[in-house]
Amino acid sequence: MQLDRFLCKHADYSRKTVLQLLSQQQVKVDGQTIQHREFPVTQFSHIEVQGKTIQRHTARYYMLNKPAGFLSATTDPVHPTALTLLTGIDTSDLHIAGRLDRATTGLLILTNDGKWSRKLTALKSIEEPAIPKVYLVETAYGLSPTTVQRFKEGIYFKTENFTTRPAQLEIISEKISHLTIYEGRYHQVKRMFAAVGNRVVNLHREKIGEISLGSNLKLGEFRALTLHEINWMYITVK
């Protein structure tokens, strides 16, 4: 939003007053004196008028190693939610970017930056680059090279008339594998294995793009994202 529109809308100044304040160098954005009415501001810009703070919101980004049994939701009347695990911080403005079902464990991203989270989770067209998501999967039955090839070709979901992008399946042991997918469809991993006659027993998300859970964060623990983890997406994902 333009600075003059923001001040008229959120600070209840008239347009004439805003222009006067700007010309008198009475407006600062993120510590910088601004005189241009069209200067762009966001929900996280620190805006001051005549030394008084009009807006000061901080963008926040966290990763959580979600345990089983917790919903990817902000509130729920029955089940505990992932947000209850973020103890000691204000979670009132946070939302979840890329949900996991209640039984699935692993990497969950929480933020108050809607633009950033939409970029992270948006379903791309087949021509556009997509963000890889890596899962550790345990299946009920043994895996075979046939499954590897089927996933590489893409799995067709009749309900949505949709074929997944080519996925990479790396077999670690008889029933354990790493799966990399490029969408985030409803129960996608479980449905992909079901399509080849197998069943997922345990599912754990390890990585989204360059945001990796790693080995230091125990189940139920969380931490703030690093600057690299926050910014990589703006550099590599258009």
Give the tokens for residue 187. 């129960």
**Has residue 180 been placed in a domain?**
yes
Do you know the residue count of the chain? 238
Same domain, 42 and 94: no
Query: Do 80 and 71 meet the contact criterion of CB atoms below 8 Å apart?
Result: yes
Same domain, 147 and 95: no
Same domain? For 49 and 103 the reply is no
| Whether the model pTM is above 0.95 | no
Same domain, 200 and 215: no
Asked whether residue 190 falls in the same domain as residue 219, the answer is no
- Is the pLDDT assigned to residue 118 strictly greater than 60? yes
The rounded distance, in Å, linking the Cα atoms of 187 and 175 is 19
Report yes or no: 211 and 63 within 8 Å, Cβ to Cβ. yes
pLDDT at 161: 92
Higher-scoring residue by pLDDT: 234, 102: 102
By the 8 A CB rule, do 113 and 214 touch?
no
In a domain, 72, yes or no: yes
- Does the structure show a pLDDT above 60 at 126? no
pLDDT, tens only, 103-113: 999 999 999 99
The structural domain count of the chain equals 3
Question: CA 34, CA 7: separation in Å to the nearest integer?
Answer: 13
Percentage of the residues of the chain whose pLDDT score is greater than 90: 70
Cβ(65)–Cβ(221) below 8 Å: yes
The residue type of 194 is A
Picking from 39, 55, 71, the residue at the C-terminal end of a domain is: 55
Region 92-99: mean pLDDT is 91
pLDDT at residue 32, as a whole number:
92
Instruction: Supply the pLDDT for residue 128.
Output: 58
* Whether residues 137 and 201 fall in one domain: yes
Instruction: Tell me: do 111 and 228 sit in the same domain.
Output: yes
One domain, residues 158 and 91: no
Question: CA separation (Å) from 229 to 79, 98, 124?
Answer: 30, 15, 20
Q: Which residues are catalytic?
A: 101
For the stretch 31-89, pLDDT in tens is: 999 999 999 988 888 899 999 988 788 899 999 999 999 999 888 888 999 999 999 99
Question: What backbone torsions phi and psi does residue 33 show, to the nearest 5 degrees?
Answer: -70, 125
Q: In this structure, are 67 and 181 located in the same domain?
A: no
Output the domain CATH number for residue 194: 3.30.70.1560
Are 143 and 104 in the same domain?
no
Q: Is residue 174 part of a domain?
A: yes
pLDDT at residue 156, as a whole number: 95
Residue 128 lies in a domain: no
Residue 16 falls within a domain, yes or no?
yes
Find the domain containing 39 and state its range: 3-55
pLDDT of residue 189: 97
| The pLDDT of residue 122 | 78
Q: What whole-number distance in Å separates Cα of residue 74 and Cα of residue 84?
A: 8
